[in-house]
Amino acid sequence: MVVGVNCGHTRTGAGCGANGIISESEYTRKVGYALMELLKNNGAVVIDCTVDKASSQSEYLKAVAAFANNEELDWFISIHFNASAGHLANGVEAYTYKGRKYQDALDICENISRFGFENRGVRDGSGLYVIRKTKAKAILIEVCFCDNEDDVRKFHEAGGEAVIAEAIYSGIQKKTENDHIPFDAYIGSIARRDWKERRILLPSVVVAQAIKESCWGTSELARNAKALFGIKLNGWKGKTYIKTATEQKPDGGIYQVKNTIWRAYDSWEQSVIDHNDYIATRSTDGGKTLRYAEIIGCIDYKKVCAGLQSCGYATAINYGESLIRDYIEKYHLSMFDEYSL
Ligand SMILES: [Zn+2]
Q: Are residues 204 and 316 in the same domain?
A: yes
Is position 177 within any domain? no
Distance between Cα 11 and ligand 1 center (Å)? 12
Q: Are residues 146 and 213 in the same domain?
A: no
Distance between Cα 263 and ligand 1 center (Å)? 38
Distance between Cα 140 and ligand 1 center (Å)? 9
Q: Are residues 311 and 331 in the same domain?
A: yes
Is position 219 within any domain? yes
At 22, the amino acid letter reads I
Question: Which of 172, 192, 208 marks a domain boundary?
Answer: 172
Distance between Cα 66 and ligand 1 center (Å)? 18
* Secondary structure class of 16 (helix, strand, coil): strand
pTM of the model: 0.56
Residue 340: pLDDT over 80 = no
Q: What are phi and psi of 94, to 5 degrees?
A: -135, 150
The more confidently predicted of residues 267 and 150 is 150
**Measured CA distances, 241 to 186, 222, 319, 333 (Å):** 24, 11, 23, 29
Distance between Cα 141 and ligand 1 center (Å)? 9
pLDDT band at 336 (very low <50, low <70, confident <90, very high): very high
Q: Are residues 205 and 291 in the same domain?
A: yes
Distance between Cα 16 and ligand 1 center (Å)? 8
pLDDT for 116-143, tens place per residue? 999 999 999 999 999 999 999 999 999 9
Is position 10 within any domain? yes
Q: Are residues 84 and 103 in the same domain?
A: yes
Distance between Cα 15 and ligand 1 center (Å)? 9
Q: Are residues 222 and 142 in the same domain?
A: no
Q: What is the largest CA-CA distance in the chain?
A: 69
Distance between Cα 17 and ligand 1 center (Å)? 5
Distance between Cα 23 and ligand 1 center (Å)? 10
Residue 129 sits in a domain whose CATH number is 3.40.630.40
Distance between Cα 142 and ligand 1 center (Å)? 7
Q: Are residues 84 and 156 in the same domain?
A: yes
Distance between Cα 247 and ligand 1 center (Å)? 29
Is position 178 within any domain? no
CB atoms within 10 A of CB 289: 9
Question: Which of 140, 172, 204 marks a domain boundary?
Answer: 172
Is position 50 within any domain? yes
Distance between Cα 1 and ligand 1 center (Å)? 26
Domain region containing 195: 183-336
Distance between Cα 170 and ligand 1 center (Å)? 22
- Closest alpha carbon to 19 in 145, 147, 141: 147
Q: What are phi and psi of 245, to 5 degrees?
A: -105, 140
**26 contacts 7 by C-beta, under 8 angstroms:** no
Distance between Cα 146 and ligand 1 center (Å)? 10
Distance between Cα 30 and ligand 1 center (Å)? 14
**24 contacts 15 by C-beta, under 8 angstroms:** no
Distance between Cα 225 and ligand 1 center (Å)? 34
Distance between Cα 297 and ligand 1 center (Å)? 50
Q: Domain total for the chain?
A: 2
**Measured CA distances, 332 to 217, 220, 292, 335, 337 (Å):** 18, 26, 24, 6, 10
Q: What is the pLDDT of residue 59?
A: 97
Is position 261 within any domain? yes
Mean pLDDT, the chain, whole residue set: 92
Q: Are residues 96 and 192 in the same domain?
A: no
Mean pLDDT of 295-323: 94
Q: What is the pLDDT of residue 176?
A: 45
Q: Are residues 91 and 10 in the same domain?
A: yes
Distance between Cα 95 and ligand 1 center (Å)? 12
Q: Are residues 277 and 205 in the same domain?
A: yes
Which DSSP symbol is given to 324?
Answer: I
Residue 339: pLDDT over 80 = no
Distance between Cα 96 and ligand 1 center (Å)? 15
Q: Are residues 162 and 192 in the same domain?
A: no
Region of poorest pLDDT, from 97-106, 150-159, 301-310: 97-106
Question: Which of 118, 148, 172 marks a domain boundary?
Answer: 172
pLDDT band at 180 (very low <50, low <70, confident <90, very high): low
**Triad 15, 18, 19: Cα angle to 5°:** 125
**Triad 142, 155, 38: Cα angle to 5°:** 75
Q: Are residues 11 and 156 in the same domain?
A: yes
Residues sharing a CB contact under 8 Å with residue 157, sequence separation 6 or more, in sequence order: 115, 116, 248, 254, 316
CA–CA separation, 275 and 283 (whole Å): 14
Residue 248 sits in a domain whose CATH number is 1.10.530.10
Alpha helices (H) in the chain, listed in sequence order: 24-41, 57-69, 103-113, 129-132, 149-158, 161-172, 183-198, 203-214, 220-224, 268-281, 301-310, 319-322
